[in-house]
């Protein structure tokens, strides 16, 4: 069953929301509609977002791996990322910065896809070529600095 949800964190009246790696900006726009009293900041390296958006949604060309996010610490109620593994040299550093810029009691949510196939009934052998390939790909991604 697919749940059409933009977030899983228990959000209640957030004031400042950040979407890192917004892409087309669709998520930020939907959050702006759902939380009209919140300021939604969305960042990406590419300026591909639409110009006609809710008044509370703002797009910025920015790199979350940069040192300063141009806001005070403890600023955001909620920070969101989706499918960004492999986009940063050190995604753990981006997460650390996210927690630095999140208010006490705020949330940071990273939604990712598990790339390594698994099977709970033991029918996938350890030497299955596709499983080996995904492990090599994961190892290469970790080693790429």
* Shared-domain flag, residues 104 and 122: no
Q: 58 and 125, same structural domain? A: no
The pTM assigned to this predicted structure is 0.83
Q: How many domains does the chain have?
A: 2
Residue 103 and residue 47 in one domain:
yes
Sign of CA dihedral 12, 30, 2, 138: negative
- pLDDT bin (cut points 50, 70, 90) of residue 145 is low
Tell me: do 48 and 105 sit in the same domain: yes
pLDDT tens, position by position, 52-84: 999 999 999 999 999 889 999 999 999 999 988
- Percent of the chain surpassing pLDDT 90: 66
8 belongs to a structural domain: no
Do 78 and 34 share a structural domain?
yes
Is 11 among the domain residues?
A: no
pLDDT at 4 over 80: no
pLDDT-derived band at 3 (thresholds 50, 70, 90) equals low
Q: Per-residue pLDDT for 2 more than 70?
A: no
**In the 3-class helix/strand/coil scheme, how is the chain assigned residue by residue?**
CCCCCCCCCCCCCCCEEEEECCCCCHHHHHHHHHCCCCEEEEEECCCCCCCCCCCCEEEEECCCCCCCCCCCCCCEEEEEEECCCCCCCCHHHHHHHHHHCEEEEEEEEEECCCCCCCCCCCCCCCCCHHHHHHHHHHHHHHHCC
Instruction: Provide the domain limits for residue 21.
Output: 16-111
Residues 68 and 126 in one domain: no
Q: Residue 51's Cα: distance from chain center in Å?
A: 22
Residue 57 sits in a domain of what CATH number? 3.40.50.150
* Domain annotation covers residue 5: no
Taking 70 as the threshold, does the pLDDT of residue 1 lie above it? no
């Amino acid at each position: 069953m697919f749940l059409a949800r933009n977030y899983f964190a228990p959000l209640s009246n957030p004031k400042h929301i950040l979407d890192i790696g917004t892409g087309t900006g669709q998520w930020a726009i939907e959050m702006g509609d759902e939380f009209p009293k919140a300021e939604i900041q969305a960042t990406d390296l590419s300026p591909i977002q639409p110009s006609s958006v809710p008044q509370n949604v703002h797009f910025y060309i920015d790199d979350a791996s940069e040192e300063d996010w141009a806001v005070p610490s403890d600023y955001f109620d909620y920070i969101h990322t989706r499918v960004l593994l492999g986009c940063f040299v050190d995604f753990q550093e981006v997460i650390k910065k996210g927690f630095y810029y999140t208010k006490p009691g705020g949330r940071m949510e990273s939604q990712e896809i598990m790339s390594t196939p698994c099977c709970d009934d033991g029918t996938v052998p350890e030497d299955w070529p596709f499983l080996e390939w995904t492990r090599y790909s994961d190892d290469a991604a970790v080693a790429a600095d």
